[in-house]
Amino acid sequence: MTAVSVSLGVGPNTGAPVSSPLAGTAQRARERAAARESARAERRARLAGVNRRRRSDSELWEAARRGQAELGGSGPGSADEATAEEVIAWSVREFGDGLAVASSMTDSVLAYLVSQQLPWVDVLFGDTGYHFAETLGTRAAVEHELDVTVVDVRPRLTVAQQDAVHGPDLFERDPEACCRMRKVEPMREALAGYEAWATGLRRADSVSRASAPLVSWDSSNNLVKINPIAGWTDDDLVSYALRHRLVVNPLLADGYPSIGCAPCTRRVEPGEDARAGRWAGLDKSECGLHE
């Protein structure tokens, strides 16, 4: 039997380094991560040096009216409605860095779409303290894979602090109050620094969203609300994610078509509405952000 010499990083006899494919991959990953962080830092520095005037509510209301007239076609679902890319292009021209994306980290489609036209756009993630581990993993993957700036929007009270003040498991006793404190109010405070926000709201989500416009005035948060993929079906969303190899929350393939906080979200049975697993058994279908 002939002896075979195996070495790691050193060639036979000569002592010369042997190139490792894994080492090359790791080096490229480090370089990519460094370049991405540098680009993020440059954007932060640029924005910090700009004193931007947020337009008045009346000016933003007019922008919303103009956007809906320009993009809405004959009405929600009409053949002459603007495409998602056209809606985003208008939004970037109109608001620039005053535009933010809201994401529940169910998927990364909207964040990706916007980042193609506005690299390092702020993606607001409502970190309620009650998320599934899979949702937090998706959030980390989005930050790693996409040219976006993930902004964690957190409540003033931690879960433990809220339990101490309001009693344990407020979500069971008063889900409206829990949503308000852990999601709605923190997001409202975060949105105050922007002129417009893009959401992943789709008409296919539920009956209550069936007529959602592409652009509207959000009177609850006093800014322009943009729903670029409002007209997309579930198949549209899935096929786009697959085609572009985008990150999706693994819970989508485990019976959770709509994903919220873990204590208030269950799997959906065949034939049920996609949002039937949210606040099941309660007279509640929205957290309050889109009301």
Q: Is 222 helix (H, G, I), strand (E, B) or coil?
A: coil
Strand-pair category, 196-198 with 215-218? unpaired
Any idea what DSSP says for residue 183? I
Angstrom CA distances, 245 to 15, 26, 146, 171, 258, stand at 42, 21, 11, 35, 20
Residue pair 39/119 in contact (Cβ under 8 Å)? The answer is yes
Ramachandran quadrant class, 53 (left: phi over 0; alpha: psi -120 to 50; beta: rest) = beta
Is 179 annotated as catalytic? no
State the Cα–Cα distance between residues 197 and 208, nearest whole angstrom. Answer: 20
Q: Which of 274, 288, 29, 19 lies closest to 144 in space, CA to CA?
A: 29
From 178, 179, 264, 287, active-site residue: 287
Strands (E), the chain: 99-103, 121-126, 148-153, 196-198, 215-218, 223-226
Any idea what DSSP says for residue 1? -
CA dihedral (241, 246, 248, 254) in degrees, to 10, reads: 60
Active site residues: 287
